[in-house]
Chain A
């Protein structure tokens, strides 16, 4: 008998054995599957969001920094702004960054910007009076002011920004807000 024919028959035999082994293993798997019990349920989990934005008083919250151009500080020494909580959690604090630049050239020092909160009330833009309690938040030329006043979800803080500048070249102030995890309330454990 030719050697090629013998090899072919041997290969056919091996193929047959392989098919039988595979079929056997598959049948075992089906058998194990039959002896299985399962229980299934679904659940939805969502995470919180935190943050705040600075806008002009009563304006709709939009992302981005607020830029104010102080053009006539002698006549308008105040700017009224809101710190809006855009979180899904109550904020325990936030950090407001202030950056001031002169609009033109000159050697005059940069003015200081002071922030005051009208707690439980609103600022009257005409008189500059607070209908609630005035709380001093701090002042800076260029730097950060950490505010620890709690703000509920969708709440806002009524803030008055004032400048130390008298008559002089105009300047621009950029207000930014930042909220870290630690300012977004403590972690909680819920049972039930």
Chain B
């Protein structure tokens, strides 16, 4: 019969062998896997470039565009200004809109509510494929002028109004005629005193903001 000491040594020997075996596996195992890794790389780096979305406008010579103030408008008067709107980015765009922020005389911004019958300033946006004839205000293109945004009071432009042709390809542009008109309406002034709720002697500051958004994102397979 083995003694108790011999039994103890035997069990410790087994544990030591198991420990050493585990250490050997940890050290040698990764070396075995690494030897099975394969890699490849492109010879030259792939180039990935992002596009740009830019919208610019400029007065169409000889018109001074928006930088030229409109003064002394009487009912029935209309003033046409001409600007070139260009998608100067590299991405096509969509959702072209115009919003106008107006400050100043209320009767020039919002139509009167009965019994007040005043009619506010209207803005109309038209485009022409050819260059506008600025002397006559006509579009010489065979297809004629295209109404991009129909006449609407300034108050309507508080929210952005969509163009009829709402897409603009990269580097493409629109030749626009922006018409500001004061609708015909009658007011009689007695002894030099202006009537209440008049459209006379008013002034408004207009900030035109044209906006485009990028074309729909695409997924390309090739």
Contact = CB atoms under 8 A, between A and B. Distances in A.
A190 B74 contact: no
B77 interface: yes
A76 interface: no
B53 to A, nearest CB: 4
Contact of A37 (B74, B134, B211): B211
Given A44-B69, A45-B121, A181-B187, A86 B74 contact: no
A38 B62 CA distance: 24
Contact of A44 (B54, B199, B204): B204
B203 interface: yes
A188 B73 CA distance: 9
B140 interface: no
Contacts of A112: none
B110 to A, nearest CB: 14
B211 A190 contact: no
Contacts of B76: 181, 186-187
B210 A47 contact: no
A191 interface: yes
B201 A45 contact: no
Interface string B181-199: 0101111111111100001
Interface in A44-65: 44-54, 61-65
B70 interface: yes
Contacts of B89: 37
Contacts of A186: 76
B55 A47 contact: no
Contact of B188 (A43, A178, A189): A178
A98 interface: no
Nearest to B79: A190
Interface in B99-114: 105, 108
B80 interface: yes
A133 interface: no
Size range of the interface on A? Answer: 35 or more
A160 B193 CA distance: 24
Contacts of B209: 38-40
Contact of B87 (A37, A45, A47, A178): A37
A37 B173 CA distance: 14
Given A47-B199, A191-B80, A179 B55 contact: no
Nearest to A54: B191
B43 interface: no
Contacts of A36: 53, 211-214
A52 B66 CA distance: 33
A37 to B, nearest CB: 4
A41 B207 contact: yes
Contacts of A47: 72-74, 105, 108, 182, 199-203
Contacts of A181: 74-76, 184-188
Nearest to B108: A47
B169 to A, nearest CB: 13
A106 interface: no
Interface in B118-149: 121, 134-137
30 contacts: A37-B89, A40-B210, A42-B207, A43-B66, A43-B69, A43-B70, A45-B73, A45-B180, A47-B199, A47-B201, A48-B72, A49-B201, A51-B193, A51-B194, A86-B192, A88-B72, A89-B74, A177-B192, A181-B186, A181-B188, A184-B74, A187-B74, A187-B76, A187-B77, A187-B78, A188-B74, A189-B78, A189-B137, A190-B70, A191-B135
The 5 closest A-B CB pairs, nearest first, are: A187-B76, A51-B189, A35-B214, A37-B55, A49-B201
Given A42-B207, A45-B108, A191-B80, 16 more contacts: A32-B213, A36-B211, A39-B209, A43-B205, A45-B70, A45-B206, A46-B72, A47-B74, A47-B200, A47-B202, A51-B194, A52-B192, A178-B188, A180-B186, A192-B64, A192-B68
